Amino acid sequence: MIEKQSDNVENLEEDVSEEVNKNEDSSVIENQTSNDEQSLDVDDENIYAEDLKNTITNNDARLEQLEKEHETLKSQYVRIAADFDNFRKRQSRDQDDLKVLLVSKALTAILPIVDNFERARQQLKPESDEAQTLHRSYQGLYKQLVEVLKQQGVSPMRVVAQQFDPKLHEAVLREPSQEFNEDIIIEELQRGYHLEGKVLRHALVKVSMGPGQQNSQELEEKDKVEEDIDLENPISEEN
């Protein structure tokens, strides 16, 4: 009986020992598994961090490239817009110049007619009723012509008593003048005209030379003549 109990105790101890060994083995396995899992987690995190870093680097490089492409396209757009604006302005300027040129040619062809009207107005002196009626009709046509020129931007020059300017005037004659200083216009021979501030036709003018050398010579010759007369007719002395 006692031996049987002793065997049971030994069996129980063996069972307990085996159970303890199993538990220890299980704990070791669990610890190893846990360590392996932690190691895997660290590796995964490192891999993920490396991938994320590479992704960020690639995105930064791509962003920098896109920014450079954007600046290049922006520069091209600005240059093309500037070229187009310059082209548009040049076209507009050329069209305006062509328009002025065509209008200038047409108006220049009309100006001699205006000159003839003005000469006729200065020369004609109507006396009879019929002549006055004709003169009024003529004046009406002249005013209409002048009004048309004015609407086209044509304006006459005022030159008498003005300083001679070769950009505006053409000197046909030069003569001495006691009234005007040198290079002052003393007479208008043919009227000049402006078109929108530009010269449509130069004025033909007579320009003063001033008192000048010629007048001085005339005075000297006059004094010499008077002196000769005095020498030819000396005053007799009283005795």
Token pair recorded at residue 66: 């896109």
Name the pLDDT band for 40 (thresholds 50, 70, 90).
low
State residue 187's pLDDT score. 92
Question: 156: helix, coil or strand?
Answer: strand
Residues 166 and 64 in one domain: no
Highest mean pLDDT of the ranges 3-17, 73-87, 109-123, 129-143: 73-87
Residue 211 lies in a domain: yes
CATH number at residue 211: 2.30.22.10
For residue 77, the one-letter residue type is Y
Residues 5 and 101 in one domain: yes
* Helix H or strand E encompassing 21: helix 2-123
Question: How far apart are the C-alpha atoms of 90 and 84, rounded to whole Å?
Answer: 10
User: Do 103 and 163 have their domain in common?
Assistant: no
- The tally of domains found in the chain comes to 2
Reported as a pLDDT band with limits 50, 70 and 90, residue 37 is low
Whether 215 shows a pLDDT value over 80: the answer reads: no
> What is the domain range of residue 180?
156-233
Q: How far apart are CA 146 and CA 143, in angstroms?
A: 5
Across residues 209-225, what is the average pLDDT? Answer: 59
Do 169 and 92 fall within a single domain? Answer: no
> Would 146 be classed as within a structural domain?
no
Q: How confident is the model at residue 39 (pLDDT cuts 50, 70, 90)?
A: low
pLDDT-wise least confident of 70-74, 128-132, 145-149: 128-132
What is the distance, to the nearest Å, from the Cα of residue 101 to the centroid of all Cα atoms in its chain?
21
Is 238 part of a structural domain of the chain? no
Question: Residue 129 pLDDT > 60, yes or no?
Answer: yes
Put residue 124 in one of left, alpha, beta given phi > 0 → left and psi -120 to 50 → alpha.
beta
Is the per-residue pLDDT at 200 higher than 70? yes
Termini Cα distance of the chain: 216
Query: In this structure, what token pair is assigned to residue 166?
Result: 């070769």
pTM here is 0.54
